[in-house]
Amino acid sequence: MSEKNNKYILVGIDGSTISGPLIKFAIWLAKSNGLTIKILHTIEHSHQTENPHHEGNLTPNIRRELLKELSEEERVESKALMATGKTLINTAKETVNAAGIDDVVAKLRHGTLPEAIEDLKAETALIMLGSKGISHQGTEKGLGFHLEESIRATNSPVFIAQKEFTQPKKVMFIYNGSPTSKRALAMITQDTIYKEPLEIHIVCVNSDTELANNLIAEAKSAFAQSKNSIVTKVLTGDTIEQLTSYQKDNNIDITAMGAFSHGKLHGFFFGSFTTKMIQQSDCNFLLIR
């Protein structure tokens, strides 16, 4: 067994509507790359109390009493969350089994999703998440609360499911020559994530078309050995606008790109390109750190 095979496709589910398609995408990838699916659900403790006391007084041995009370409250909360979580992961596991994959792991962990991703870093080959968690369901532009933090917590590629499952055929790869996009290129040309041929659209947005053409040629040559069919396109104008309309016009299933190359602070002031891109697209994503 090679080292790669000891690693998992970590699929984070939380019971939101996107969790269903996400599992199907996971099955699709696992069947191609042979990795084991690990279904993960995190039990997020609120660490808050449902029964605050506003008496404002301190009774003797208050610390001990309060600790007992709060621990008991959390114990009950945890039990309930774990029961719900178990149902969730077991249902997902059955779906995977039904698709003909027997080897699947289902795990519950305490804490937040980014914490879990950080903790499981060593055994993760690929992470798969839905773009919106259960608390953002139905909101138009909102992104999952933990999504950015989760992606930043890992070095592995992250697949983000954003729409219903259809067998992916077309992948758009955004290339701009930056170090992150170079890493992304290297990752994709290895075909470790998905082995069967796809239609890959290498796209570069740059007003300097000569530079853009050079970049595209550079990327295309990296695909020389691959069985994928390659389409290239240079776009000019507003980056996000151009890319999202290209996605639509060409029925792109998955957009692959380098992600979060800038620090958190940069993102705070200028807004993150990755976040905006995901928010404004109706497309699945493969983000490479």
Partner 1 sequence: MLFSPKNDWFGNIKGDVLAGIVVALALIPEAIAFSVIAGVDPKVGLYASFAIAVMISFVGGRAGMISAATAATALLMVTLVKDHGLQYLLAATLVAGVLQIIAGYLNLHKFMSFVSKSVMIGFLNALGILIFMAQLPELTNVVWEVYALVALGLCIIYLFPYVPYIGKVMPSPLVNIITLTAIAYFMGLTDVRTISDMGELPDTLPIFLWPDVPLTFETLKIVFPYSVSIAIVGLLESLMTANVVDELTDTESDKKRECKGQGIANIGSGLIGGMAGCAMIGQSIINVKSGGRGRLSSLVAGIFLLILVVFLSDILKIVPMAALVAVMIMVSIGTFSWTSIKELKTNPKSASIVMIATVIVVLWTHNLAFGVFTGILIGSLFLAQRLSQFMFVKSEYDEASDTRTYHVVGQIFFNSSDKFISYFDFKEAVDNIVINVKRSHFYDVTSVAALDKVVIKLRREGADVKLVGLNSASQTMLDKFAIHDDPEEIEKFISGH
Q: How far is the CB of 79 from partner 1 (least distance, A)?
A: 15
41/146 with CB nearer partner 1? 146
Q: Rounded to 5 degrees, what angle do the CA atoms 241, 26, 272 make? A: 30
Interface ranges with partner 1 (CB under 8 A): 45, 47-49, 52-64, 66-67, 70-71, 74, 111-112, 114-115, 118, 145-146, 149
Residue at 77: amino acid letter: E
Q: Rounded to 5 degrees, what angle do the CA atoms 77, 70, 78 make? A: 20
48/90 with CB nearer partner 1? 48
Q: How far is the CB of 261 from partner 1 (least distance, A)?
A: 21
Q: How far is the CB of 192 from partner 1 (least distance, A)?
A: 29
249/269 with CB nearer partner 1? 269
- Long-range CB contacts (within 8 A, 24+) of 77-83: 77/45, 77/46, 78/43, 78/45, 78/110, 81/43, 81/44, 81/45, 82/43, 82/108
76, with CB counted inside 10 A (0-12, 13-18, 19+), is exposed
Q: How far is the CB of 61 from partner 1 (least distance, A)?
A: 5
Q: How far apart are CA 221 and CA 156, in angstroms?
A: 24
77, with CB counted inside 10 A (0-12, 13-18, 19+), is middle
Q: How far is the CB of 70 from partner 1 (least distance, A)?
A: 6
Contact 104, 29 (CB under 8 A): no
Tokens (6 digits) for 32: 């191609």
Q: How far is the CB of 148 from partner 1 (least distance, A)?
A: 10
Q: How far apart are CA 39 and CA 94, in angstroms?
A: 11
115/218 with CB nearer partner 1? 115
